[in-house]
Chains A and B, each alone.
Chain A
Amino acid sequence: MTTSFRFDPIDLPPQAKALRQEVREFLRDEIAAGTFSPDAMPDGRRGAFSRDFSRKVGARGWIGMTWPKEYGGHERSHLERYVVVEEMLAARAPTRAHSTADRQSGPVVLRYGQEAVKREILPKIAAGELCFCIGLSEPNSGSDVFAASTRAKKTEGGWLVNGRKIWTSGAHQADYMIALLRTSPSTKENRRHGLTQFLVEMKTPGITIRPIINLTGGHDFNEVVFDDAYLPDTHLIGEVDMAWKQATDELAYERSGPDRWIETFPCLLELVRKAGDKPSERLAEGIGREVAHLATLRRMSLSVAGMLQAGKTPGVEAAVVKDLGTNFEQALPDRVRLLAPPPSDAEPDANDDRFEAALRYATLIAPKLTIQGGTREVLRGIIARGLGLR
């Protein structure tokens, strides 16, 4: 009878509200100190990457917030973590040196990693000292992630890896990768069988990282080549050949956060600035419409954080948020473009410049938003399965 997905309301606990103020003060101070500028568009050149900043965030206890204290975590709630993440993103703080590890890689290591590795790695992630990348896509396995063929072959005390990962964001800056590698052929019964997750130290001999420049002219993603790269047994994560069972939880973490609807927010913000306090009816309606979508998405995204806090695995709900969120943020620059008062030949003022920079950035990155972290098509397949159609 209930086909619909529920996104129950979340009332943030008082400590999360206090935390929000704390984070805002921290960010205000960092901006004042010149650590970063909220107006600077990363422009695809990873201006959002700063190890110094990540260490400061770690020192405040805002990385690995939900993890156990014995692994360097802070045993705070998913809702508190959500607040920190969204404030950082809204301020365009340079979080990329720690965000992947905090969101995705750390939780995987915590859940499936070996004890010694957990004790060594997790406290350093929480301190903001380790940067992670994710080794999923390959030249012949993109959306079809379980077709990966980069091979890990058992050898004395470890594994020898050969093959290529591609579109690996931030590989050139990362200390570690969580890689999905083939340890056995797939079986007739289960084509997802035979893949295993490994922790890969990026400076392992036999690993070569080649930049791939994206259409913004920036260097974010890479090709990572493995040529007899040796991984010790201790870096095996979870069960051999059974990664498909582990990957589902990971995606719930990856897919519903504020980063899935906030990427192009600056162009809306700058449109509001340009509009002034007496916008035309058309402009007011246009802005109102986008704000209505944004606020609703945020509420749904927060609701998923509440589900995680309640110990659920909201894989389908996360896919719903990411599908709605990325479609929204992708369409936003085009709507903003047509709402904006037409450009003139008059000398531009500072607001015009900010608007133009934000809109250009949003327009250029728009295509990737419905591809990275699971394409729109993949997400809709997951939702359809949740509806009982597959």
Chain B
Amino acid sequence: MNEGGDSIVVDTATRIFRDLCEPATINEAEAGKWPAALWEALEESGLPLAWVPEELGGAGASIADGFAVLRVAGRFAAPVPLAETLLAGRLLSAAGIAAPGGPLTLAPVLGESHITLAPDGRLKGRARRVPFARHAGHIAVLARRERESVVALAERHGLMLREGESLAGEAADDVGFDGVLPKAAAASPIDEEGLKAWGAAARMQQMAGALERILEQSVEWALQREQFGRPIGKFQTVQHNLAILAGEAAAAGAAADAAAEGLGGAEINIAAVAIGKVRVGEAAGAGAAIAHQAHGAIGFTYEHSLHHSTRRLWAWREEFGNEAYWSGRLGRMVAELGADELWRFITAGS
């Protein structure tokens, strides 16, 4: 994100979320009510299809813009498939498939894909914990056709769904694709690892945004809550814990930006993505723990909004490869290059 996100796009997103994504909206979404007003406002602004070129029905915004919008969405714990629609749009348009309107999602998000596209044009296989599957009009499926990666556009209607939810209480459904005839399918320049990288980079932005939010909430709370005759934020231990949280949030922001940059070019910079998902994932765990400690019992209630962010942090760090997955990938990359290349590896690109 060298140029950073376009500030107009970020401002638009911020305004929409501020107006239409209140804590009550998030609770209602968890209770099963689709936040229609929020989604419609987003669609009207063109944000969900920001990564789809205009000729394929999208807004044709920059990669950096899309990631910047996801940072804002993360700050507001937006209970809509904005990241998923952006990613699905990117996956489809890379393969030359026009993106349909409405909410989209993508599969797989967890492990290796075992979905195949048979010679008769039908899909076979399943994906677990597909975010927002039940709310999506279509699912962009990355599958194998013999040895090549293909992306298939499947209508959600008619798919076998087993409803489940994420740690954050968002829809995360198991989806069966056996025998499904996709509306379109084409060879995908984005392979399985590429999809994982794009998904990881999106989750990193959301997590960086959520960390910014819980830092802000924790500082506000520490200044306001009084114990032992003074605001708890006047206690050195509390100050130091929040300083650590600020450091984790800052590191997450920097690492997420590096990963986003790594997806802006012609080739995916897998190292930047691996570094980012490890660092941001770790910041998510450490940061959420500090925010909860600062809030005390009130932060452990359902009524308080802290969990909107912390539960999402715990969910997102696990998707598109967790810290163990990406640190292993990164460690093998480093080992293959060898010790004498380590410094060059760390300074690569700058």
Using CB atoms and an 8 Å cutoff, list the residues of chain A in contact with chain B: 1-12, 17, 20, 86, 90, 268-270, 272-273, 275-279, 281, 283-289, 291-300, 302-303, 317, 320, 323-324, 377, 379-381, 383-384, 386-390
| Given A288-B326, A288-B328, A295-B275, A4-B250 contact (CB < 8 Å) | yes
| Given A4-B215, A8-B4, A90-B239 contact (CB < 8 Å) | no
**Which of A273, A289, A300 neighbours the largest number of chain B CB atoms within 10 Å of its CB?**
A289
| Given A284-B335, A381-B239, A300-B250 contact (CB < 8 Å) | yes
CB neighbors of A among B177-232 (8 A): 211-212, 215-216, 219, 222-223
Using CB atoms and an 8 Å cutoff, list the residues of chain B in contact with chain A: 1-2, 4, 211-212, 215-216, 219, 222-223, 233-234, 236, 238-240, 242-244, 246-247, 249-251, 253-255, 257-258, 261, 274-276, 278-279, 282, 323-324, 326-336, 338-339, 342-343, 345-347, 350
Residues from chain A with a CB closer than 8 A to the CB of B253 are: 4, 6-7
In the bound assembly, the distance between CA atoms of A291 and B333 in angstroms comes to 11
Q: In the complex, which residue of chain A has the Cβ closest to the Cβ of B256?
A: A296
Q: Among B238, B251, B345, which residue has its beta carbon within 8 angstroms of that of A324?
A: B251
Asked if A288 contacts B329 (CB within 8 A), the reply is yes
**Which of A383, A386, A388 neighbours the largest number of chain B CB atoms within 10 Å of its CB?**
A383
Asked if A3 contacts B212 (CB within 8 A), the reply is yes
Asked if B244 contacts A380 (CB within 8 A), the reply is yes
In the bound assembly, the distance between CA atoms of A148 and B328 in angstroms comes to 50
Q: Among A291, A303, A323, A388, which residue has its beta carbon within 8 angstroms of that of B334?
A: A291
**Which of A86, A302, A380 neighbours the largest number of chain B CB atoms within 10 Å of its CB?**
A380
Asked if B254 contacts A320 (CB within 8 A), the reply is no
Asked if B242 contacts A272 (CB within 8 A), the reply is no
Asked if B233 contacts A389 (CB within 8 A), the reply is yes
In the bound assembly, the distance between CA atoms of A71 and B342 in angstroms comes to 37
Asked if B215 contacts A291 (CB within 8 A), the reply is no
Beyond A292-B282, A384-B240, 13 additional contacts (C-beta under 8 Å) are A4-B249, A5-B249, A6-B253, A269-B339, A272-B334, A279-B331, A281-B328, A288-B274, A288-B326, A288-B332, A288-B334, A292-B275, A299-B258
Asked if B323 contacts A289 (CB within 8 A), the reply is yes
Number of A-B residue pairs, CB cutoff 8 Å, is 184
Asked if B212 contacts A292 (CB within 8 A), the reply is no
In the bound assembly, the distance between CA atoms of A296 and B274 in angstroms comes to 11
Residues from chain B with a CB closer than 8 A to the CB of A1 are: 216
Residues from chain A with a CB closer than 8 A to the CB of B258 are: 9, 295-296, 299
Residues from chain B with a CB closer than 8 A to the CB of A275 are: 335
Asked if A292 contacts B274 (CB within 8 A), the reply is yes
Q: In the complex, which residue of chain B has the Cβ closest to the Cβ of A388?
A: B219
In the bound assembly, the distance between CA atoms of A278 and B333 in angstroms comes to 10
Residues from chain A with a CB closer than 8 A to the CB of B234 are: 389-390
Asked if B240 contacts A390 (CB within 8 A), the reply is no
The 3 closest A-B pairs by CB, nearest first: A284-B331, A288-B331, A288-B327
Asked if B327 contacts A289 (CB within 8 A), the reply is yes
Q: Among B222, B257, B332, B335, which residue has its beta carbon within 8 angstroms of that of A389?
A: B222
In the bound assembly, the distance between CA atoms of A6 and B253 in angstroms comes to 8
Residues from chain A with a CB closer than 8 A to the CB of B274 are: 288, 292
Q: Among B240, B254, B332, B347, which residue has its beta carbon within 8 angstroms of that of A20?
A: B347
Asked if B330 contacts A292 (CB within 8 A), the reply is yes
In the bound assembly, the distance between CA atoms of A298 and B276 in angstroms comes to 13
Asked if A298 contacts B347 (CB within 8 A), the reply is yes
